[in-house]
Amino acid sequence: MAHPFADDFQVRPYWWEAAAPEDTGDASPASVDVAIVGSGYAGLAAALELVRGGQSVALFDAGPLGIGASTRNGGLVSGGLKISKAVARRFGGEVAAAMLEEGRQTLTHLETMIEQEGLETGYRRSGRFVGAHCRSALRAQEAQVQGLTARGIRARIVPKAELRGVIGTDAFVGGMAVDDAGCLHPAMYHRALRNLVRQAGATLTPHCAVNAILREGMGFRLLHASGETTAQHVFVATNGYTGELSPWFRRRLIPLASYMIATEPLPADLIQRLSPEGRVFADTKRVLSYFRISPDGSRVLYGGRASFVDGGEVTGAAKLYRFMTRVWPELDGVELTHAWKGNVAFTFDWVPHIARHDGVVYVGGCQGSGVAMATWLGHQAARSLLGANQPSAFDRDIFPTAPLYDGRPWFLPFVGTWYQLRDALDVRLDRAG
């Protein structure tokens, strides 16, 4: 394999070339109706709904506005959600069905908002293709397609013989094409959303870590890097960056780094071969990859769980390069210009949550798919505070943790190794017939 790093290679999200997180903002107010911790999509979406609902809102971030996952992600947008049998048993079939339906609504909610507010996000309904890495995964996709089409979602199986009409590779045994999915420029979406929130009248304060949330009378007092703010209500939307501020929330989230790389600009005919239909891509491995062409149609952006320990971006990039050239061998020799990582958050029941504890509202746990979902959770949590009579299916009393878990996932390297072994075994079993 050729040396993959270009001379101008940077450890920095490619997206920030067009829209970087923002260092400037407002001074923190002394008192507001609602204080929001975290300036990702969830915090911003909650702020927008609340301020339009007549509340005064102050939003704080420990770093620049948008420094978290919301300006680092792949920009793949889907309304898909996996509900495990255990969750269906715990909550009941009706709630599980409501969650699936809401998952679907997250996509239309995002699309409607982008269109109605005229947000500059580069969004398009690209459709999605999920490549099956082995025959048992393809069989599972066949069942999935039946379930999706029964719910009115446009999906179909792509047999191996037809792969090259959808993706320029023979690396999969087939796959599933879902038309109800899209993609956007995540950092441009973040910038458009934060401008909207600012215009609506909320204060946005960067570099202002919230260090404590204290109960005071009927409300709260927040101690933060610029002093104090009192608030009637507090929302915490810190997701994969949740730290000491809330041990209760931290114990319910499993943070995990996700890594991405961007290639140098590539010839148009090569891009056309790699992605003939302009879809976004993922695979069925437990150690998942997701990938796409950049919004300007010139580069490959490839992401995945390159490491289950807190590895560096350069090591992660070399690993992703191997994954990428396995899917698209003709990219061997192409140089990388950017590599970066960010944190996502999983939950112990694998569903996103809106929750309350000691009067504070918490939103998060999008299982690594939060462009549409984090936006939705923030919006729904805000609507609930404003008195919406139909609560979200994700707004539940039960938010599980695990015994002795303190928010530091020591078990991830073991889980990661096990998942990699299982993925490799799947392929070997296929070859053995």
Ligand X SMILES: Cc1cc2nc3c(=O)[nH]c(=O)nc-3n(C[C@H](O)[C@H](O)[C@H](O)COP(=O)(O)OP(=O)(O)OC[C@H]3O[C@@H](n4cnc5c(N)ncnc54)[C@H](O)[C@@H]3O)c2cc1C
Which residues contact ligand X (rule: CB under 6 A)? 37-43, 60-63, 67-70, 72-76, 209-210, 237-241, 243, 245, 258, 260, 290, 303, 341-344, 364, 366, 368-371, 374
φ/ψ bin of 424: left (φ > 0), alpha (ψ from -120 to 50), beta (otherwise): alpha
- Helices 371-385 and 41-52: angle between axes, nearest 10 degrees: 30
CB of 225 to ligand X, least distance (A): 8
Looking at the Cβ atoms of 50 and 62, the one nearer to ligand X is 62
CB of 348 to ligand X, least distance (A): 17
Looking at the Cβ atoms of 134 and 354, the one nearer to ligand X is 354
CB of 381 to ligand X, least distance (A): 11
237 neighbors 364 (Cβ within 8 angstroms): yes
CB of 124 to ligand X, least distance (A): 14
Task: List, in sequence order, the alpha helices (H) in 204-255.
Answer: 247-250
361 neighbors 235 (Cβ within 8 angstroms): yes
How far apart are alpha carbons 228 and 373 in whole angstroms? 31
Looking at the Cβ atoms of 67 and 99, the one nearer to ligand X is 67
CB of 161 to ligand X, least distance (A): 29
Q: How many CB atoms lie within 10 A of CB 407?
A: 18
Looking at the Cβ atoms of 67 and 334, the one nearer to ligand X is 67
**Residue 188, token pair as written in the block:** 């441009």
CB of 376 to ligand X, least distance (A): 11
Q: How many CB atoms lie within 10 A of CB 171?
A: 14
Q: Tell me the helices (H) and strands (E) count for the chain, helix number first.
A: 10, 19
Question: Please, what is the Cα angle at 243 between 238 and 249, to 5 degrees?
Answer: 65
Which of 208, 204, 207 has its CA nearest to residue 196? 204
How far apart are alpha carbons 157 and 211 in whole angstroms? 50
User: Which residues have C-beta within 8 Å of that of residue 428, sequence separation ≥ 6?
Assistant: none
CB of 239 to ligand X, least distance (A): 3
How far apart are alpha carbons 183 and 74 in whole angstroms? 8
Coil, helix or strand at residue 65: strand
DSSP letter (8 states) at residue 264: P
Looking at the Cβ atoms of 175 and 303, the one nearer to ligand X is 303
Looking at the Cβ atoms of 134 and 176, the one nearer to ligand X is 176
How far apart are alpha carbons 190 and 39 in whole angstroms? 9
Looking at the Cβ atoms of 103 and 168, the one nearer to ligand X is 103
**Residue 263, token pair as written in the block:** 């290639």
Looking at the Cβ atoms of 160 and 357, the one nearer to ligand X is 357
Which of 401, 406, 397 has its CA nearest to residue 354? 397
CB of 420 to ligand X, least distance (A): 19
CB of 331 to ligand X, least distance (A): 19
Looking at the Cβ atoms of 139 and 357, the one nearer to ligand X is 357
